[in-house]
Amino acid sequence: MPRLVYCLLLASLAVSSVSAAELVVYTERKEPLVKPIFDRYQRETGTTVRLLSDGAPVLIERLAAEGANTRADLFMSVDAGSLWQAAERGLLAPVKSPALDAAIPAHLRDPQGRWFALSQRARTIVYSTARVKPAELSTYEALADAKWKGRLCLRSSKKVYNQSLVATMIERLGAERTEAVVRGWVANLATAPFADDTLLANAIAAGQCDVGLINTYYLGRLQHDTAGYPVQVFWANQAGSGAHVNISGAGIVAASRHKAEAQKFLEWLASDAVQADFASVNFEIPARPGVKLDPVVAAWGKFKADPVNVSVAGHRQAEAVRLMDRAGWR
């Protein structure tokens, strides 16, 4: 009997060792963008990182349903609002990490330490280089002016990126002023809203509209693939609040059995050595200041970002959706 107990103990220790050398990430960020990074971590540390990829709402509901039985150690999303929702539902654990606090600016992380940005994704104005002069552009709000009637393209209001932009505007301008701006945008539309930002950028290139609002990495892909692509970035609100930024980020799952290893992985993702690769694979901006930019991104020039904490995208999201619906943005 003592020998049997001893063998069972050894088996238990072996299972624990294997489990501790493996992390599971529930990720909204697409597999081609993260798997090379995850594989690099395995090569450097010996810890395997497995992923399950789906939309944030699906992953959040899965985490909630699995509860204490989940295998997930980290949740990764491409929107601050989704991270906020997961945290508010108690699905993410607060982390105390001097390394993360030093690496990630305060406005790009949860004030309670439940999630942290890993890259920034600006949503700003883009314009036709053939039909619009940069001097004609200034702010998000100015796109509601009558001069842009029949010249503006937007993506569907159902996309969370637009909801987060409007949520931030509500925080900055108030609901009444924001609704007036959004109504002006709708009145200026050249065509029905697009399903994605690539279609929107191509519509500008084709002359269907002259200006629009997109996440800059969509334009980065197009500029990288097509020399002389006739659409360019304009950094909005540089004399005031700064351009809107959202994030791709992650937090440690509250029910994770490997929180210490998950924290090491999160700190590694935020390190100087990794940040450039994490962001440049998708033409994004590193969350950590001072990290080298991809040449396509660097060519857009330096810009002032809105310093509001990105968690606003979450706690004002429902209000933003209602406002967009009232304004007729479909």
- 166 & 109 share domain: no
Q: Is 218 annotated as a binding residue?
A: yes
- 199 & 161 share domain: yes
By three-state DSSP, how is residue 21 classified? Answer: coil
What are the residues whose beta carbons fall under 8 Å from the beta carbon of 56, sequence distance 6 or more? Answer: 28, 77, 78, 79, 82, 85, 86, 160
- 49 in a domain, yes or no? yes
Domain encompassing residue 114 = 2-120+246-292
Task: Output the pLDDT for position 21.
Answer: 84
- 180 & 281 share domain: no
Q: CA–CA separation, 17 vs 15, rounded Å?
A: 5
- 168 & 223 share domain: yes
Q: With beta carbons less than 8 A apart as the criterion, state whether 313 and 107 touch.
A: no
Q: Is 6 annotated as a binding residue?
A: no
Which CATH number fits the domain that encloses residue 53? 3.40.190.10
- 140 & 217 share domain: yes
Task: Output the pLDDT for position 40.
Answer: 98
- Give the pTM: 0.92
- 156 in a domain, yes or no? yes
- 301 in a domain, yes or no? no
Looking up tokens 């429902």 gives: 318
Q: CA–CA separation, 276 vs 119, rounded Å?
A: 9
Q: CA–CA separation, 111 vs 97, rounded Å?
A: 13
Find the angle CA(199)-CA(203)-CA(208) to the nearest 5 degrees.
150
Q: CA–CA separation, 92 vs 115, rounded Å?
A: 8
Distances in Å between the Cα of 190 and the Cα atoms of 21, 140, 144, 146, 319 are 54, 17, 13, 12, 26
User: What is the secondary structure of 225-281 as a DSSP string?
Assistant: HSTT-SEEEE-TTTTTT-BEEEEEEEEEBTT-S-HHHHHHHHHHHTSHHHHHHHHHT
Task: Output the pLDDT for position 304.
Answer: 98
- 300 in a domain, yes or no? no
Looking up tokens 């001069």 gives: 147
- 180 & 319 share domain: yes
Q: CA–CA separation, 245 vs 247, rounded Å?
A: 7
- 18 in a domain, yes or no? yes
pLDDT values of the chain reduced to their tens digit, one per residue, 330 residues: 344 333 333 333 333 333 458 999 999 999 999 999 999 999 999 999 999 999 999 999 999 999 999 999 999 999 999 999 999 999 999 999 999 999 999 999 999 999 999 999 999 999 999 999 999 999 999 999 999 999 999 999 999 999 999 999 999 999 999 999 999 999 999 999 999 999 999 999 999 999 999 999 999 999 999 999 999 999 999 999 999 999 999 999 999 999 999 999 999 999 999 999 999 999 999 999 999 999 999 999 999 999 999 999 999 999 999 999 999 999
Number of C-beta neighbours around residue 307 at 10 A: 12
Task: Output the pLDDT for position 20.
Answer: 54
- 93 & 142 share domain: no
- 218 & 198 share domain: yes
- 144 in a domain, yes or no? yes
Looking up tokens 């053939």 gives: 130
Distances in Å between the Cα of 23 and the Cα atoms of 3, 11, 49, 58, 71 are 32, 20, 5, 20, 8
Q: For the chain, how many structural domains are there in total? A: 2
For 18-167, strand residue ranges (E) read 22-27, 48-53, 74-77, 116-128, 152-153
- 299 in a domain, yes or no? no
Four-residue CA torsion sign, 67, 320, 124, 190: positive
Radius of gyration of the CA atoms of the chain, in A? 22
- 176 & 320 share domain: yes
Q: CA–CA separation, 60 vs 261, rounded Å?
A: 21
Q: CA–CA separation, 91 vs 21, rounded Å?
A: 22
- 311 & 252 share domain: no
- 298 in a domain, yes or no? no
- 19 & 106 share domain: yes
In 3D, which of 289, 263, 307, 303 has the Cα closest to residue 114? 263
Count CA atoms closer than 13 A to 267's CA, side-chain side.
14
- 141 & 52 share domain: no
